[in-house]
Amino acid sequence: MSTAAVPPPEGRGESHGLIDAITHLCGSLGRHVHALSSLAGVEAKEAAGVYLRVAIAVAAGLLLGLFAYLLLLLSIAFLLALLGVSWLWITLGLGLLHVGGVAACYVFIRGQVSKPVFATTQEELRKDFASLKSFRL
């Protein structure tokens, strides 16, 4: 019984020509693109979490701003109407407290938005481009 030439499994043995080299290159390129897209997917989930927290903080900031506006207006109106009744100062204090809440939300949002998104993917792409620039045949 004669044994036919069986091609070696992928990754073993020598390549048998240009077609095998191109096939191997396409396979490697496909695996590389798949790995990059998987990394981008993971970072997209992380970015979605960050922007969800930012959206919640923006909504809370808007709500607190509305309360601060209403309380400050009521405080000014009652202060002008009654001049010196102590519970009005409580209303004014609550208004200022809500303004402080708005300021805290603003600081939180600025901190969240300033973080870079997809940093790991960007770093991998920089490495890929650097290696392609230094690639010689």
Burial class of residue 67 in the structure, from the number of CB atoms within 10 Å of its CB (0-12 exposed, 13-18 middle, 19+ buried): middle
Its pTM stands at 0.41
Q: Tokens 């809370």 label which residue?
A: 60
pLDDT of residue 80: 64
Q: Which residue has the tokens 């010689």?
A: 136
Rounded Cα distance between 95 and 101, Å, is 10
Quick: pLDDT tens for 38-90: 888 888 888 888 889 999 999 999 999 898 888 877 777 677 667 665 666 66
Looking up tokens 């620039």, which residue turns up? 133
Tell me which amino acid residue 133 is.
K
Q: Looking at residue 25, what is its pLDDT? A: 83
Cα–Cα dist 41/61, whole Å: 30
Q: Cα separation of 63 and 68, whole Å?
A: 9
